Structure 1
């Protein structure tokens, strides 16, 4: 096994990093680092003899988190994060209708179930209660955690 990233190299996480229960002071499932955030490699090691785990220092939050190699990209690589990511909680800016019938009221809360939908990645699959809809980014506001 050969590491891909070197000590001090700036990298970007390609998915949201949530606490798996190993980071003290955070509940299991708490969002630690948003997708697209950059940090710096501190060191690396192996897990179960077949995975390289990098210790990444995210300066903005002053967190040090272990990341698998497939969760990282070089910071200089092209990146389009979009406005929302999987698991984000949102509020509708306006009512959503199907064939003129309102199915989701303005102000309704939902959760992002899939990203990068539509021809240019401008919409998302959002779950409201038990129903899912493809919703344009312009119709949503992020609810901060």
Structure 2
């Protein structure tokens, strides 16, 4: 297979994040959801954007849609899939205490803010970078839980559905 190309034609792939119309998908309003996180499709072919980004043409049999997806937006459909419960700038609670070089950074139950989301494309595992005081720390998905309902109002909300 070509360098940087992970999937051949016929491979089943799973979308790892919601894909919304950026204005280039005909017949769908800008910002509207095209493909939802977790949907499975079949690679038809691949191409390149600006000679450096792999783009897969993926067919979704359930909707009959043919969508161009970047390499970072898909994983092998056979991998275990955990939906992303948090988005950037959301708040979460730690399920464990965090320390670095013997120094306590945060305690179990502390509230942290998600600053980045990362999914390992080879394994499908999800991790988050969270802000603790003035430090950013990467933690596995199991280290975070939802903010209790009584604090739900403290969860940051996006102003635009297109983001």
Q: TM-score, normalised by structure 1?
A: 0.60
CA-to-partner distance for each residue in 1:59-98, whole Å, 9 max, x for gaps? 111111111111110000111126x675xxxxxxxxxxxx
CA-to-partner distance for each residue in 1:85-134, whole Å, 9 max, x for gaps? 75xxxxxxxxxxxxxxxxxxxxxxxxxxx9989856552699xxxx5339
**Match of residue 34 from structure 2:** 32
- CA, structure 1 residues 15+49, in 2 after alignment: closer, same or farther (shift >3 Å)? same
**Match of residue 154 from structure 2:** 132
Q: Distance in 2 between matches of 1:18 and 1:53?
A: 16
User: Is 1:73 the counterpart of 2:75 in the alignment?
Assistant: yes
Please list every run of 5 or more consecutive structure 1 residues that lacks an aligned counterpart in the other structure: 87-113, 135-145
1:22 match: secondary structure: coil
Q: Distance in 2 between matches of 1:60 and 1:49?
A: 31
Higher share in strand: 1
Moved over 4 A (4+): 114-122
**Match of residue 16 from structure 2:** 14
**Match of residue 123 from structure 1:** 146
Q: Distance in 2 between matches of 1:49 and 1:5?
A: 17
**Match of residue 95 from structure 1:** none
Please list every run of 5 or more consecutive structure 2 residues that lacks an aligned counterpart in the other structure: 88-115, 118-126, 129-140, 157-163
- CA, structure 1 residues 119+76, in 2 after alignment: closer, same or farther (shift >3 Å)? closer
| Corresponding pairs, count | 105
Q: TM-score, normalised by structure 2?
A: 0.54
